[in-house]
Structure 1
Amino acid sequence: MKTKQIGFIGTGVMGNGMVRNLMKNGFSVTVFTRTKEKALPLLEEGAEWADSVEELATSCQIIITIVGYPKDVEEVYFGTGGLLAHTRSGSYLIDMTTSKPTLAKEIYDRAKEKNIQALDAPVSGGDIGAKNGSLAIMAGGDEEAFKEVLPVLEAMGENIILQGEAGAGQHTKLSNQIAIASNMVGVCEAIVYARKAGLDPSRVLDTITTGAAGSFSLSKLAPRMIADDYAPGFYVKHFIKDMSIALESAKELGMDTPGLDLSLKLYKELAENGENDSGTQALIKLFES
């Protein structure tokens, strides 16, 4: 596996850490992103550069994508210069973008027609998990393909589970985002409540993060809220995208999601206040105002 060249498309907040961990684990990585300047630090650290998706597709046997929105996934995979038009037979495509389950299934079906294995493998853990190689990776696709690329996934994550057939990884990630959506509202309310009660919110966190209220959002994002640190580990605009996809999928399944509805409404209000490019922890600003 380590002799195979890995292609990586998308070197944003998450992608940078993921590429670094691949290289730390002995993999050779070729990267492509729309703005080459964003990839310069990785190139200086040993990554190779491809001038186009087509060039990357023809030179790599395992290709990972983590881009912004479903429309970006469609462009990267289905365009005339895209992956499905130029990836070699016998290769592996792994989309780690949080996207639509139906789109993951379409990629899988079209890839299979060309003897290409496709997996949807979205991640959770934010910039911290990407940096530390501790991402949760939820995969959908064929078990044989999953086992073949598992060493690659293990370089980027720790909790790596094949959830089912194509699209199952995306459905799992949407479940994850639904859980986070209501949790973030609760974390914001808890911190503002502690302050209004005259408590030191940091000391409150020292207690409640170890109890039944414990969560990633409480342990990792609440301290950023308290410190007025709104740098993006995960963008508000991308969380809105994820929640919108989750809401659409939930409606297709015939279920109501009142917690998700409320969180999406609040985050859209936050974005309208100019916080689109802030980290999701910026939600607390609505509760403090």
Structure 2
Amino acid sequence: MKVGFIGLGNVGGKLAGSLLRNGHDVTVRDLDPKTAQAFLDQGAHWADSPRELAEAADMIITCLPSPAACSVVMESDDGVIAGLSEGKIWLEMSTTDDGELRRIADRVLATGARALEAPVSGGCHRAATGNISIFVGGDRESFEQVLPILTTLGRRVLHTGALGTASVLKVMTNYLATANLCAVAEALTVCKKAGLDMNTTYEAIKISSGNSFVHETESQVILNGSRNISFTMDLVLKDVGLFDTLAKNLEVPLEISPLLMDIFRDGQERFGPREWSSNIIRRLEESAGVQVLGHGFPAELTDDEPEEEGYEVVVTGRG
């Protein structure tokens, strides 16, 4: 199956790299041709437009920073939809709004092509090694058709149900990760102010009931001082905003989500929209007059688990 990949950013570039590393025929497209050069050097083909890419590929993957960006790539005159035909598959791997996803999917389906969503979760370091988790929404037949490629891109692949379900679950998990990040930032700052050793504090949290995936990953780059988690404050606001809007539309009166939005709006105003999200702790450092740093922690995360063939996660007891 020939794969077209649009969007070679922090996550998309690593996913496209997994495809090339595992021998797939890949055509790429990005707004910045310089970004694509490393992939071309590895054997990828280049498309001059999304339409050209869609015409050349059997499966078209989009991994873009916002619903608006996806709309442009998909719906412009030389967009993906213009190059679709019966039998092709569009796989949306962006973190996006479920309603917008279904709207564009309807246009894809009208061409005779199929539509799936497949947002990822687990961090850029796991995307780089093909060990990331993938949520997939869409019909079961299309899911099974692309599963061999999905198990190249990720280790754990979960079919979540109809189109839109994966997008809802993705923004939910990003909301939880953000809540964990803010809680970890407060915990580390308080312990630093109390005079505790930060390496000891890290290990204490890691072996306790207060542990989380966010602590095991983001706390390391926080304590290094780089705060480089390959994810920025504007993207946090986008993702948590999607979750917050979903809750409002469903008339669920949330309390924590609006507070997270306020925290990151303030962080973005102080440090800029492209500041690393983990540096949200800097708000607390400045207020408390401390620097929350440890010793020997990495500046960037790497996945130390070997790349393994992925598999479908089977849900038990699902009705």
TM-score tier, shorter chain, comes to over 0.9
Structure 2 length-normalised TM: 0.87
Sequence identity of aligned pairs in percent? Answer: 29
Partner of 2:184: 187
Partner of 2:235: 238
Deviating more after overlay: 55-64 vs 278-287:
278-287
Q: How far has the Cα of 1:232 moved from its partner?
A: 4.4
Partner of 1:196: 193
| Secondary structure in structure 2 of the residue aligned to 1:118 | strand
Partner of 1:137: 134
Deviating more after overlay: 52-61 vs 275-284:
275-284
Which residue identity lines up with residue 190 of structure 1 in the other structure? A
Q: How far has the Cα of 1:153 moved from its partner?
A: 1.2
Partner of 2:20: 23
Quote the Cα distance in structure 1 between the aligned partners of 2:241 and 2:174. Answer: 10
| Secondary structure in structure 2 of the residue aligned to 1:219 | helix
Partner of 2:262: 265
Paired residues of 2:51 and 2:81 also in contact (CA < 8 A): no
Which residue identity lines up with residue 32 of structure 2 in the other structure? T
Partner of 1:221: 218
Paired residues of 2:120 and 2:132 also in contact (CA < 8 A): yes
Structure 1 length-normalised TM: 0.95
Q: How far has the Cα of 1:203 moved from its partner?
A: 1.9
Partner of 1:285: 282
1:79 and 2:76 matched: yes
Q: How far has the Cα of 1:36 moved from its partner?
A: 0.4
Quote the Cα distance in structure 1 between the aligned partners of 2:29 and 2:129. Answer: 22
1:47 and 2:44 matched: yes
- Summarize the alignment of residues 57-76 of structure 1 with structure 2, pairs less than 5 Å apart: 57-76=54-73
Paired residues of 2:50 and 2:74 also in contact (CA < 8 A): no
| Secondary structure in structure 1 of the residue aligned to 2:155 | strand
Q: How far has the Cα of 1:101 moved from its partner?
A: 0.3
| Secondary structure in structure 1 of the residue aligned to 2:116 | strand
Partner of 1:152: 149
- Summarize the alignment of residues 58-137 of structure 1 with structure 2, pairs less than 5 Å apart: 58-137=55-134
Quote the Cα distance in structure 2 between the aligned partners of 1:121 and 1:111. Answer: 16
1:33 and 2:38 matched: no
Paired residues of 1:232 and 1:278 also in contact (CA < 8 A): no
**Root-mean-square deviation (CA), in Å?**
1.2
Q: Deviations over 1:66-91 (max 9, x none)?
A: 01111011111111111112122210
| Secondary structure in structure 1 of the residue aligned to 2:128 | helix
Quote the Cα distance in structure 2 between the aligned partners of 1:62 and 1:89. Answer: 11
Aligned residue pair count: 286
Quote the Cα distance in structure 2 between the aligned partners of 1:210 and 1:59. Answer: 50
Paired residues of 1:181 and 1:259 also in contact (CA < 8 A): no
Q: How far has the Cα of 1:140 moved from its partner?
A: 1.0
Paired residues of 1:275 and 1:282 also in contact (CA < 8 A): no
| Secondary structure in structure 2 of the residue aligned to 1:17 | helix
Partner of 1:275: 272
Q: Deviations over 1:141-178 (max 9, x none)?
A: 11110111111111111121111101111011111122
Quote the Cα distance in structure 1 between the aligned partners of 2:209 and 2:134. Answer: 24
Which residue identity lines up with residue 202 of structure 1 in the other structure? N
Quote the Cα distance in structure 1 between the aligned partners of 2:93 and 2:10. Answer: 13
| Secondary structure in structure 2 of the residue aligned to 1:136 | strand
Quote the Cα distance in structure 2 between the aligned partners of 1:148 and 1:213. Answer: 40
Report which of the two has the higher share of helix: 1
Deviating more after overlay: 106-115 vs 55-64:
106-115
Paired residues of 1:232 and 1:277 also in contact (CA < 8 A): no
Distance 1:232-1:51 versus aligned 2 partners, 3 A rule: farther
Q: How far has the Cα of 1:288 moved from its partner?
A: 0.7
| Secondary structure in structure 2 of the residue aligned to 1:132 | coil
Quote the Cα distance in structure 2 between the aligned partners of 1:155 and 1:29. Answer: 13
Paired residues of 1:139 and 1:163 also in contact (CA < 8 A): yes
Paired residues of 2:218 and 2:229 also in contact (CA < 8 A): no
| Secondary structure in structure 2 of the residue aligned to 1:162 | strand
Structure 2, unmatched stretches of 5+, are 287-319
Partner of 2:291: none
